[in-house]
Structure 1
Amino acid sequence: MTRPDSPELDCLVVGAGPAGLAAALYLARFNRRFLLVDSGDPRAAWIPTSHNIPFFADGISGRDILGSQREHVGRYGGRILAGNVTAIEKSGGCFSAEIEPEAGSRRTVRARRVLLATGARDVEPDLPDLPDAVRRGLVRYCPICDGYEAAGKRIGVIGYGDRGLGEAVFVARTYSRDVTLLTLGQGMDLDADERRRIAEHGIKVVHEPIASLDIEGDRIAATRTRSGHEHRFEVLYSALGLKPRSELAVALGAEHDETGALLVDDHNRTSVAGLYAAGGVVRGLDQVVVALGHAAIAATDIHNRCELPTEEEEGGN
């Protein structure tokens, strides 16, 4: 029997991308009291077609992945609330979360544990008159996911520094010998080793800013620099990185790396007792299948520890 002063939830799940929905499925099948809060903007929804998710040999879109997951959670009566979690506080082994629903008034929920599956935001490239190229799918963001389909094509990689050069080398050694690195005018002071890597893989480097674009259908077909040089591509990737949506965890004092990505243990626990993280908000490989694994591990650990007191409660350890 639940005590009047006990939290209303075993777990609050924040974020309804692949990780959050997978965690919700596990918690529902564990017969746990949970609530999944969905802000309505999962990055996975941008995936046009992925061919590296097991069981979907013919490919599957991000929207179909999420739709299937939501239907699956619904079979077990999982609670999904459209809205935003604006703040989380912790006191005496319990979390209190402020929620702004899409419909209805602001509410506070209390949970013994919280799983953050809030994902990350792509850093959009600074392209002329095109502020949302990645979101619109004109620039791709994951050669691990769909680079195989780009094999042998003319590929542009937008980036600079170690990250940009690293991704250009990855694409060149794995998929195509026609790769151009576009630095967007940031420039790169290449050392001898970097010049060797560029030469070894036949990578062309464009140091000038992009002045104009040619868009054909669902892709950017050409870029022109300020000096008038035209570079044509069949596929463009961004290597500008991600900004993890980790603000809620950081405000609680959770450990994170220099990008804001959360550091977790083998059970996907953060450094804050009772706070878990899964998917793109966690440091590591940003892949749907990895996010699903995170969710399974975290949800199972949450279930196994639900009857145990947290570190702040009497008898906790």
Structure 2
Amino acid sequence: MTSAPLDCLIVGGGPAGLMAAIYLARFRRSVCVVDAGASRAALIPRSHNVPGFVHGLSGSELIARMSAQLDELAVTRVDAEVTALQRHAHGFEASWNGRAHQAGTVVLACGIVDTHPPFVEWRAAVADGLLRYCPVCDAFEAAGRRTGVVGPLHRAAGKALFLRGYSRDVTLLATGPNDGKAATSELCEAGVKFVFAPDLHLRRRDNGVEAAFADGRTAQFDIVYPAMGAEVRSQLAMVLGAEHTAEGYLKVDDHQRTSIDGLYGIGDIVIDLHQISVAFGHAAIAACTIHNSLPRLLA
């Protein structure tokens, strides 16, 4: 990579980061994508919410297709973790692989890391569609199936109620204290079964998932949805003093600008509606804003 300052550094190589890079490269801006290889989208076995793919496509295939576009545009991509980000005379200085790199603007597309349930085989279960994290994405395919929702009541109740619109057999497995009488009442009215299960463990059984309780009881499900929260990977921005929510989501304006001049947030790092289409929209808005903020290019 050239030693000259980049127009834009993009941190994160999921759908949001790659889309921003495609836009900026086509604007003829110098851009580099640095990716730590932990894209949440890469775990998606098949998404049916991406327009134009009638039978859906996997997250890994989507990333591969977008990466091929970046190859055609000769965009630099680095497999590394950005370990530090600070202000600099040219905008920002970021560090990875033991070296410092300068950029006029930075887009954070680092996403989130889901908190997984107590399930040793969780990764294989995700790949096989037994463990699912996004009912907005795939509840349609889960219609009519025995569905479990695992997590603290305040996180899991809304997801269980949403899934009740697709299946008559929905059980909320509450891993925290029963601290919401209104929520449990609403669950009962909607026909969602409720089990207090603080010492729950999940394991594969036949073609589904078995929930094992501390008292020896078990329950069988076709699909389980965790609702246990996530870590928002916004630390680079928070160190700079960027405004954020209590959960760590970055606060941005309608152009995806954070409270730090020149620093942008897109995708899951700014909103808990974790959708590829939302990531694409954020990326397009941020890239256009960045292009217009930089010195004009003349052919």
How big is the shift at 1:138? 4.7
Equivalent in 215, 230, 234 of residue 242 of structure 1? 230
Partner of 1:312: none
Tell me which amino acid in the other structure corresponds to 2:189. Answer: E
Q: Secondary structure at the match of 1:19?
A: helix
Q: Secondary structure at the match of 1:146?
A: helix
RMSD across aligned positions (CA) = 2.0
How big is the shift at 1:176? 1.0
Q: Secondary structure at the match of 1:84?
A: coil
CA change 1:252–1:211 in 2 (3 A) is closer
Give, in whole Å, the separation in 1 of the partners of 2:202 and 2:6. 51
Give, in whole Å, the separation in 2 of the partners of 1:121 and 1:135. 14
Give, in whole Å, the separation in 2 of the partners of 1:57 and 1:89. 44
Partner of 1:62: 59
* 2:81 is the counterpart of 1:84: yes
Give, in whole Å, the separation in 2 of the partners of 1:84 and 1:229. 43
Partner of 1:95: 92
CA change 1:297–1:254 in 2 (3 A) is same
Partner of 2:188: 199
Per-residue CA distance 1:249-286 (angstroms, 9 max, x = gap): 00111100011010100100000000001111112411
Paired residues for 1:15-94 under 5 Å = 15-92=12-89, 94=91
TM-score between both structures, scaled by the size of structure 1:
0.87
Give, in whole Å, the separation in 2 of the partners of 1:63 and 1:89. 32
How big is the shift at 1:198? 1.4
Per-residue CA distance 1:210-238 (angstroms, 9 max, x = gap): 45544147x65211212222211000001
How big is the shift at 1:162? 2.0
Per-residue CA distance 1:268-306 (angstroms, 9 max, x = gap): 000000000111111241111100110010011000111
Q: Secondary structure at the match of 2:105?
A: strand
* 2:272 is the counterpart of 1:280: no
Tell me which amino acid in the other structure corresponds to 2:179. Answer: D
The aligned length equals 293
How big is the shift at 1:34? 1.2
Answer whether contact 2:108 2:264 (CA < 8 A) is retained: yes
CA change 1:244–1:135 in 2 (3 A) is farther
Q: Secondary structure at the match of 1:53?
A: coil
How big is the shift at 1:190? 3.5
* 2:225 is the counterpart of 1:225: no
Answer whether contact 1:7 1:94 (CA < 8 A) is retained: no
In structure 1, stretches of 5+ residues that fail to align are 1-5, 101-105, 309-317
CA change 1:178–1:115 in 2 (3 A) is same
Q: Secondary structure at the match of 1:141?
A: coil
Give, in whole Å, the separation in 2 of the partners of 1:280 and 1:240. 16
- Greater shift, 260-269 or 137-146, is seen at 137-146
Tell me which amino acid in the other structure corresponds to 1:125. Answer: P
CA change 1:161–1:221 in 2 (3 A) is closer
How big is the shift at 1:133? 7.3
Q: Secondary structure at the match of 2:187?
A: helix
Q: Secondary structure at the match of 1:25?
A: helix
Give, in whole Å, the separation in 1 of the partners of 2:125 and 2:233. 17
Tell me which amino acid in the other structure corresponds to 1:228. Answer: G
Q: Secondary structure at the match of 2:34?
A: strand
Equivalent in 245, 250, 260 of residue 257 of structure 1? 245
TM-score between both structures, scaled by the size of structure 2:
0.92
Identical aligned pairs, as a percentage? 43
Give, in whole Å, the separation in 2 of the partners of 1:97 and 1:134. 36
Tell me which amino acid in the other structure corresponds to 2:137. Answer: C
Q: Secondary structure at the match of 1:85?
A: coil
CA change 1:284–1:71 in 2 (3 A) is same
Answer whether contact 1:52 1:145 (CA < 8 A) is retained: yes
Paired residues for 1:158-177 under 5 Å = 158-172=150-164, 174-177=165-168
Per-residue CA distance 1:165-194 (angstroms, 9 max, x = gap): 11111111x21121100113x231332x32
Equivalent in 91, 103, 111 of residue 111 of structure 1? 103
